[in-house]
Amino acid sequence: MTAKRRRPSNFQRAAEGSMTLIEHLRELRSRLFKASVAIVAATTLGLFVAGRVRQFIQDPYCSYMISRTAEKCQFNLQNPLDLFMLNLKIALYLGLILAGPIWLYQLWAFIAPGLHRRERKFGYIFAGIATPLFAIGFALGYYMMVRSMPFLLGLSGDDVNVTVNLPGYFELVTSVMLIFGLGFEFPLVIGMLNFAGVVSARRLLSWWRTAVFLTFLFAAIFTPTPEPFSMTILALAMSALYFAAVGIAFLNDRRRARHALYQDLDDDEASPIEPVSPVDAPAWGAPYGPDDDQQQR
């Protein structure tokens, strides 16, 4: 009995270009449905821990207020629904994070068939680097809020009773954390430009003054807090990561120059064979020297 021929998967059919437009739309609908179900399920789970996450976000403010007044910290709410909506927003953020591997995979599985094998390999590498960079920047943003809160609240003085609006405070802290996380993706963009062959490492190094100026400009415009500490730390971190990306670009250019002889050949293309000039056969009865006599012996 002959084995049944295995039917090609949707990934293989999409990569070969044999899927119709309707089939592409159906696949997109299926992947969006799976991603939405994962986000809804993760958001539901996030509702059970939203209160703990909210207390974690409140900790920089409460730690300072308790140390200053030795009383329990309190926040303002302008609407009875504010606390519920805030917990729902926190649960949604947690749902996007917890379901991230699922909906990112669905997005990648829909896009990847249109990419070359080399582009898919670089996509995996950059995705693996982007996640820890964003997490480090996110954590640094929270640490900067912990350090900046005494400075911001200390400007009020003892004659002013500070009462913070809870939704506004949450937006402030999460905005700082998000800006730091996005700022740490800056070297990844620089590396992608170099690996794509758009710009060389020497050109990137020659732009270091402009890059440092842009990092400080980015930090000054997008950092929500007016105090200079967070802006300076973000700009210095982005500048250091820029020079690290330039160093990686130099290594990539050196690797590319080493393999420049074969960079225009496909993996399945055979290497060229140089023609060999024919050798004339010796004529019969031709005299030969002592060396030829020794070879015949």
Mean pLDDT throughout 50-71?
82
Residue 211's contacts (CB-CB under 8 Å, 6 or more residues apart) are 204, 239, 242
What is the residue type of 71? E
Q: Where is 272: in which H helix or E strand?
A: none
Match 């119709």 to its residue by tokens. 20
pLDDT confidence band for 286 (50 / 70 / 90): low
How far apart are the C-alpha atoms of 23 and 64, rounded to whole Å?
Answer: 58
Q: Higher pLDDT residue, 257 or 6? A: 257
Please report the pLDDT score of residue 80 as a whole number: 82
Q: Are the beta carbons of 234 and 223 closer than 8 angstroms?
A: yes
205-236 pLDDT, tens digit each: 999 999 999 999 998 888 887 778 888 899 99
Percent of the chain with pLDDT over 90: 16
95-120 pLDDT, tens digit each: 988 888 888 888 877 777 766 677 67
Q: Are the beta carbons of 208 and 243 closer than 8 angstroms?
A: yes
Q: Are the beta carbons of 219 and 234 closer than 8 angstroms?
A: yes
How far apart are the C-alpha atoms of 244 and 266, rounded to whole Å?
Answer: 31
For the chain, give the mean pLDDT: 79
267-279 pLDDT, tens digit each: 555 555 555 566 5
Q: Are the beta carbons of 203 and 193 closer than 8 angstroms?
A: no
Please report the pLDDT score of residue 188 as a whole number: 86
Residue 27's contacts (CB-CB under 8 Å, 6 or more residues apart) are 10, 14, 19, 110
Q: Where are the alpha helices (DSSP H) in the chain?
A: 10-16, 21-69, 82-98, 100-111, 117-154, 166-183, 186-195, 201-206, 208-222, 228-258, 290-296
Q: Higher pLDDT residue, 295 or 26? A: 26
CA angle 141, 173, 91 (to 5 degrees): 110
What is the residue type of 154? G
Q: Higher pLDDT residue, 242 or 112? A: 242
Q: Are the beta carbons of 230 and 183 closer than 8 angstroms?
A: no
How far apart are the C-alpha atoms of 216 and 180, rounded to whole Å?
Answer: 13
* Domain residue extents for the chain: 17-114, 116-261
Please report the pLDDT score of residue 111 as a whole number: 78
Residue 201's contacts (CB-CB under 8 Å, 6 or more residues apart) are 194, 246, 249, 250, 252, 253
Q: Are the beta carbons of 164 and 75 closer than 8 angstroms?
A: yes
